[in-house]
Amino acid sequence: MRVLSFVIACLLVSSLGAQAQEQRSLSACGRINAFTPATATTDGSIAIGTRTYVLRADALYSQMGQNRLALVVGREVCLNGALDASGAMLSYIGHGIPQPYCGRVQSLRAPTGAVAGSLVIQDTGIATFSIPVGTDLSNDAPSPYGTYKCYSLAVDAPGDAYVTGRFIRTVDRVASRLQICGRVLEYTRATPTAAGAVQIGSRALTIERGFVYTGDPAGDRVDRTVVGTDVCLTGGLSATGELITFITGQFRDSACSTVGSYRPPSTATDGMLVLSVAEHPDYMRLIVARGTDLGTVATGGHICVRYAINGNGDATVTSRFEPTSPSPGVAAKPPVTQLPSTSTR
């Protein structure tokens, strides 16, 4: 869907030219009830559900927008396009209705009593959907204008797409993020009916039931969570502390980040250095072995450390270092902060 949206956006932007100020974007979703193709010299029209749009004559979009794979009577589509001042489509392209439908919420009016509600949301264009009376939106907490959300859709008898409920993606349920580096001591994959478990060093986590490891969408898909292997696991925890999304990469022996908290070691006990990333103060925990001197460590300050794996499988700080840049403007590599989404968006 991201690739398709990018293609659509590029097509629409390239068509605007000098008329950009007079146009607005639209996404009309539903079943095609009637379709008269435009040509290079004559206007056409399309009826999606209860709405009908004029398709302006255009040499490019009479070919690109009216592709026979999408714009077919009876097919359920979203028609994305740019409108002129009269509401006619100057540039457009059709594709299947995405499920879920995601975008930045412009307005949301929940249904009340016998009055239907409405959702205005922006993806590649502005889309408006009805919310029927009785639709359960109890899991859709109020949020600021422009918040990115996803909704499930259906198509009614007249052919209009409407909201059936809020779709909660995995990434929406992440309450905190973390990274654990060390040796894998236990790993049981989750199944559709049972939770899984992973233990890296002395830290053990429950893996949410139904989780399927898919790896990094932009890179390595191999599950490197293998007992006896030294790894760095980057994941997201639910509000109840279950691991609901994660990727496991090769072990890295250093990190630079903000100090979340620090308990210095004594001659008799180990200490603990916690690194924070953005709004996640407990992002990465590192043992500081007794007798290790890290100098002055201030909460909120920046620190770079090297670490190795001790006999218990935990990442343990061995030294502190100052970051050096191989060339101007290149800084030390920080811990991974982005997680893959296991949702459709």
DSSP secondary structure of 294-339 = -----TTSEEEEEEEE-TTSBEEEEEE-----SSTT--PPPPP---
Q: Is the Cβ–Cβ distance between 267 and 252 less than 8 Å?
A: no
**Range from 54-58, 91-95, 317-321, 340-344 carrying the lowest mean pLDDT:** 340-344
Please report, for residues 68, 96, 211, 212, the alpha-carbon distance to residue 195 in angstroms, rounded to integers and kept in the order given.
46, 35, 8, 11
Model-level pTM? 0.70
Supply the pLDDT for residue 212.
93
Nearest C-alpha neighbor of 290 from the set 304, 305, 310, 276: 310
Distance CA 147, CA 42 (A): 40
What percentage of residues in the chain have a pLDDT greater than 90?
70
The alpha carbon dihedral of 212, 218, 220, 224 has a sign of negative
Supply the pLDDT for residue 91.
85
Task: Indicate whether 164 pLDDT > 90.
Answer: yes
Task: Indicate whether 12 pLDDT > 90.
Answer: no
Nearest C-alpha neighbor of 78 from the set 53, 59, 105: 53
Banded pLDDT at 222 (limits 50, 70, 90) = confident
What SS3 class is residue 113?
Answer: coil
Is 279 exposed, middle or buried, given 0-12, 13-18 or 19+ CB atoms closer than 10 A? Answer: exposed
Query: Residue 72 corresponds to which tokens in the numbers above?
Result: 């077919």
230-266 tens-digit pLDDT: 999 999 999 999 999 999 999 999 999 999 999 999 9
Query: Residue 94 corresponds to which tokens in the numbers above?
Result: 């059709």
Q: Are strands 280-288 and 315-320 parallel, antiparallel or unpaired?
A: parallel
Task: Indicate whether 218 pLDDT > 80.
Answer: no
Q: Establish how many alpha carbons lie within 13 A of residue 38's alpha carbon, considering only the half-sphere containing its beta carbon.
A: 27
Task: Indicate whether 42 pLDDT > 90.
Answer: yes
Task: Indicate whether 39 pLDDT > 80.
Answer: yes
Task: Indicate whether 296 pLDDT > 50.
Answer: yes
Q: Is the Cβ–Cβ distance between 305 and 297 less than 8 Å?
A: no
Task: Indicate whether 122 pLDDT > 90.
Answer: yes
User: In angstroms, how far is the first alpha carbon of the chain from the final one?
Assistant: 7
Distance CA 336, CA 206 (A): 21
Q: Calculate the dihedral angle through the C-alpha atoms of 179, 181, 182, 188, rounding to the nearest 10 degrees.
A: 40
Supply the pLDDT for residue 21.
37
Is 116 exposed, middle or buried, given 0-12, 13-18 or 19+ CB atoms closer than 10 A? Answer: middle
Nearest C-alpha neighbor of 101 from the set 77, 132, 74: 77
Supply the pLDDT for residue 47.
97
Distance CA 292, CA 314 (A): 16
Cβ within 8 Å of residue 2, ≥6 positions away: 345
Q: Provide the mean pLDDT of the chain.
A: 87
Amino acid in the structure at residue 83: L
46-87 tens-digit pLDDT: 999 999 999 999 877 777 767 667 899 999 999 998 999 898
Task: Indicate whether 158 pLDDT > 50.
Answer: yes
Distance CA 54, CA 28 (A): 13
Supply the pLDDT for residue 17.
40
Banded pLDDT at 325 (limits 50, 70, 90) = low
Phi–psi pair at 11, nearest 5 degrees: -65, -40
Look at 325 and 299; give whichever has higher pLDDT: 299
Nearest C-alpha neighbor of 58 from the set 3, 6, 11: 11
List residues bridging with 46 in a β-sheet. Answer: 35, 53
Distance CA 122, CA 107 (A): 10
271-284 tens-digit pLDDT: 999 999 988 999 99
Look at 334 and 184; give whichever has higher pLDDT: 184
Banded pLDDT at 221 (limits 50, 70, 90) = confident
